[in-house]
Chains A and B, each alone.
Chain A
């Protein structure tokens, strides 16, 4: 990669030749005359490369069922529903809560693909069974998001993960 070649050229690690006396007097002449056994080596650059930050989020390790933290991986094949909800870049379910004006509670479902109205129907039915009330929802077809009045993030997350999203 261009990165490693540039940095290797800039940071060449020089081995001091292994001589018996490691100390040199201040009045000594240039190192080449003192110590002809100077070896340039770039093998140790691996230790520098390991410290450079990665830029991509890695895939989570394979878990059979839920992880000890409670995180569930998505299903191997997408569920046979008319809509699809992708995971966020940190591999979580994209359901978020919002609180505006100090008292307006909303739940937002993002990253919906496919038939968003079918998802809205299923969400309304699920919340009807959960609360017994008809929760107002707002579908935004341009951004493909679904807003629900009230905080239902934990229930919706567990419901969506049980579906296999």
Chain B
């Protein structure tokens, strides 16, 4: 859209001004503007949107709103829980209802894009089976007889009409499918990928917490207006613990391509990267923290975790 193009243009221009301004500042200090300042003859459209001023800043320490959710798990002594707003979907332009605490070991881990890349690549490839298959010279029909005698005919020597040199012959080093690209990353790497993705969403202000998913109408336009009003982003992923979602939001999101609902067990790195904003409910926060923090303090499996354990989360 026009807004995105102009935003990118502004960012590119700011970057180029900063880069070139620094190098050439010594020689042409009078003609170039200060670093970061825009040139005077730049014409900006009237409806230009600055994303950094749109979203609500994180709650300050002395916020009067109540703390609706505390961290149940033990937070390490040298870290403190992070806080976000808890909003409601009942009204399009509602103020936040309260604050929620988030565990720093789930929502504040170090930004490992290499782990994100590994997990995303794994998610794409472990299901892949490539069915490409070519025939080798022994599998192509025919070609058992020597076409002409070895010496004396004047032509090049050949042993079969289906060798890879011949038209219609077999492929010497082609795909020999079906090939499977299945592999498993270690469980802890996949868990860390989820934590890193959630931390990235939190750090980039794309994570929103909602008390419940009840909306007043099953109208898709209501959801779109709500997302547009609150500047959540282009695409939204809504996560809830329960398998059953309220009827209204199911119907509203069923027609929308960019708003999707998933249960909390279906949360994965690819979906989180695909959608710009992620909306969690308070129960989802508890579920995710329980499941993801258990991996930090578990034994190595004595028998598969599918079998019963005493204190499995």
Interface residues of chain A, those whose CB is within 8 Å of chain B, are 3, 6-7, 49, 52-57, 76-78, 84, 86, 89, 113, 142-144
> CB-CB < 8 A to A3: which residues of B?
308-310, 312
* Nearest-CB residue, chain A, relative to B298: A55
Complex: A3 Cα to B299 Cα, angstroms: 19
Query: Are B297 and A49 closer than 8 Å at their CB atoms?
Result: no
Query: Are A84 and B78 closer than 8 Å at their CB atoms?
Result: yes
Complex: A57 Cα to B310 Cα, angstroms: 12
Query: Are B78 and A49 closer than 8 Å at their CB atoms?
Result: no
Query: Are A7 and B296 closer than 8 Å at their CB atoms?
Result: no
Number of interface residues of B (CB under 8 A): 19
Complex: A89 Cα to B305 Cα, angstroms: 18
Interface residues of chain B, those whose CB is within 8 Å of chain A, are 76-78, 110, 112, 114, 294, 296-299, 302-303, 305, 308-312
Q: A3-B308, A52-B309 are in contact. Are A57 and B78 (CB under 8 A)?
A: no
> CB-CB < 8 A to A113: which residues of B?
78, 110
Query: Are B311 and A7 closer than 8 Å at their CB atoms?
Result: no
List 15 A–B pairs whose Cβ atoms lie within 8 Å, in order of A's numbering.
A3-B309, A3-B310, A7-B308, A52-B309, A53-B299, A54-B299, A54-B310, A55-B305, A55-B311, A56-B298, A76-B77, A77-B77, A78-B78, A89-B296, A142-B112
Complex: A24 Cα to B294 Cα, angstroms: 52
Q: A78-B77, A142-B114 are in contact. Are A56 and B297 (CB under 8 A)?
A: yes
The interface residues of chain B, by DSSP majority, are classed as loop
> CB-CB < 8 A to B302: which residues of A?
53
For the complex with contacts A49-B310, A53-B302, A54-B311, 4 further pairs of A-B residues with Cβ separation under 8 Å are A3-B312, A54-B299, A55-B312, A89-B297
> CB-CB < 8 A to A52: which residues of B?
308-310
Partner of B309, one of A55, A76, A77, A84: A55
Complex: A9 Cα to B298 Cα, angstroms: 28
> CB-CB < 8 A to A144: which residues of B?
110
Complex: A77 Cα to B78 Cα, angstroms: 8
> CB-CB < 8 A to A49: which residues of B?
310
Complex: A113 Cα to B110 Cα, angstroms: 9
Query: Are B311 and A56 closer than 8 Å at their CB atoms?
Result: yes
Q: Smallest distance from the beta carbon of B116 to chain A beta carbons, Å?
A: 12
* Nearest-CB residue, chain B, relative to A4: B308
> CB-CB < 8 A to B299: which residues of A?
53-57
Query: Are B312 and A57 closer than 8 Å at their CB atoms?
Result: no
> CB-CB < 8 A to B110: which residues of A?
113, 144
* Nearest-CB residue, chain B, relative to A54: B310
Query: Are B298 and A57 closer than 8 Å at their CB atoms?
Result: yes
> CB-CB < 8 A to B310: which residues of A?
3, 49, 52-55
Query: Are A53 and B309 closer than 8 Å at their CB atoms?
Result: yes
Complex: A50 Cα to B191 Cα, angstroms: 29
* Nearest-CB residue, chain B, relative to A81: B78
Complex: A143 Cα to B109 Cα, angstroms: 11
* Nearest-CB residue, chain B, relative to A89: B297
Complex: A100 Cα to B38 Cα, angstroms: 55
Complex: A54 Cα to B260 Cα, angstroms: 37
Complex: A52 Cα to B308 Cα, angstroms: 8
> CB-CB < 8 A to B78: which residues of A?
78, 84, 113
Complex: A77 Cα to B77 Cα, angstroms: 7
Partner of B297, one of A7, A53, A57: A57
Complex: A57 Cα to B110 Cα, angstroms: 24
Complex: A139 Cα to B77 Cα, angstroms: 25
Complex: A56 Cα to B298 Cα, angstroms: 4
